[in-house]
C-alpha cells in the first residue's frame, strides 16, 4: 500500500515535504508530485480517478488560499483524502485554506489537519495504512513512545536543573 502526496504548487513543498519525511520514518511507501486544481484541472481529474487502481491507499493533498485540491480529489475517489491547509503568501491568517478544505458538504469528506500540519497528515496516512499493516502500526507506536520519552527527559531536566538554566 502506497500513499500519494500532492500539492498545488512547488512553493508548497517546504511544508508538504514533512508528510513525505514522516512516511519514510514510519516505513510507509509514498509517491509525491505536483497537481494543481486551478492550473491543471485535467491532470487533477486523471490523478484522482486513477489513484485507487494505481495502488494508492490514501492521498495527502495540500493547498493554500481558496484550496480546492483536497476536496475536488475527494469527490472523485473512494479512497480517503487528507487535506493540509497551507498558509499561502496572501492568506488571511490561514482561515481561507482551512475553511475551503474543512467545510466540505455532506457526502464528500476531507480529513483535515492543522494549518501547515503536513507532518500530521503523513502520520494520519500511516495510521490508515497501519489499520491492516501491523509493521506500520508498530512503527507508529514506537514513534509515539519516542515523543513521550522526549517529554519525560525534558521534564526531568527542567526539574533537576531548574527553569532558570533553560532560558
Closest of 136, 140, 134 to residue 120, by C-alpha: 140
Q: Total binding residues for a second copy by CB under 8 A? A: 96
Kindly tell me which residue out of 50, 66, 135, 161 binds a second copy, with binding defined by CB under 8 A: 66
Kindly tell me which residue out of 23, 28, 51, 128 binds a second copy, with binding defined by CB under 8 A: 128
Site for a second copy in 108-127 (CB under 8 A): 108-117, 119-121, 123-124, 127
Site for a second copy in 36-65 (CB under 8 A): 36-41, 43, 45, 52, 57-58, 64-65
Q: Is 12 exposed, middle or buried, given 0-12, 13-18 or 19+ CB atoms closer than 10 A?
A: buried
12 is in an annotated binding site: yes
Determine, following the binding rule CB under 8 A, whether residue 130 of this chain makes contact with a second copy: yes
Residue among 39 and 54 whose Cβ is closer to a second copy: 39
Determine, following the binding rule CB under 8 A, whether residue 13 of this chain makes contact with a second copy: yes
Minimum distance, C-beta of residue 117 to a second copy, in the bound complex (Å): 7
Kindly tell me which residue out of 32, 51, 53, 135 binds a second copy, with binding defined by CB under 8 A: 32
Sign of CA dihedral 42, 48, 50, 51: positive
39 is in an annotated binding site: yes
Give the CA diameter of the chain: 59
Cα distance between residue 59 and residue 75, in whole Å: 12
Cα distance between residue 94 and residue 26, in whole Å: 28
Site for a second copy in 72-111 (CB under 8 A): 72, 74-76, 78-80, 82, 87-88, 90-96, 98-111
Are 5 and 31 in contact by the 8 Å Cβ rule? The answer is: yes
- 27 in the Ramachandran plot: left (φ > 0), alpha (ψ -120 to 50) or beta? left
Q: Which residues are annotated as a binding site?
A: 9, 12, 39
Amino acid at each position: 500500500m502506497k500513499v500519494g502526496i500532492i500539492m498545488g504548487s512547488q512553493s508548497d513543498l517546504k511544508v508538504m515535504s514533512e508528510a513525505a519525511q514522516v512516511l519514510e520514518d514510519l516505513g510507509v511507501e509514498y509517491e509525491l508530485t505536483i497537481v494543481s486544481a486551478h492550473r491543471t484541472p485535467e491532470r487533477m481529474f486523471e490523478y484522482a480517478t486513477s489513484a485507487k487502481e494505481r495502488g494508492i491507499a490514501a492521498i495527502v493533498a495540500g493547498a493554500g488560499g481558496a484550496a480546492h485540491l483536497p476536496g475536488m480529489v475527494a469527490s472523485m475517489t473512494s479512497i480517503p483524502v487528507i487535506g493540509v491547509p497551507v498558509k499561502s503568501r496572501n492568506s488571511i491568517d490561514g482561515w481561507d485554506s482551512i475553511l475551503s478544505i474543512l467545510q466540505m458538504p455532506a457526502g464528500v469528506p476531507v480529513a483535515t489537519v492543522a494549518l501547515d500540519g503536513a507532518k500530521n497528515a503523513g502520520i494520519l496516512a500511516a495510521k490508515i495504512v497501519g489499520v491492516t499493516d501491523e509493521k506500520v502500526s508498530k512503527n507508529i507506536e514506537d514513534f509515539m513512545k519516542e515523543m513521550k520519552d522526549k517529554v519525560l527527559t525534558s521534564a526531568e531536566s527542567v526539574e533537576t536543573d531548574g527553569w532558570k538554566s533553560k532560558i
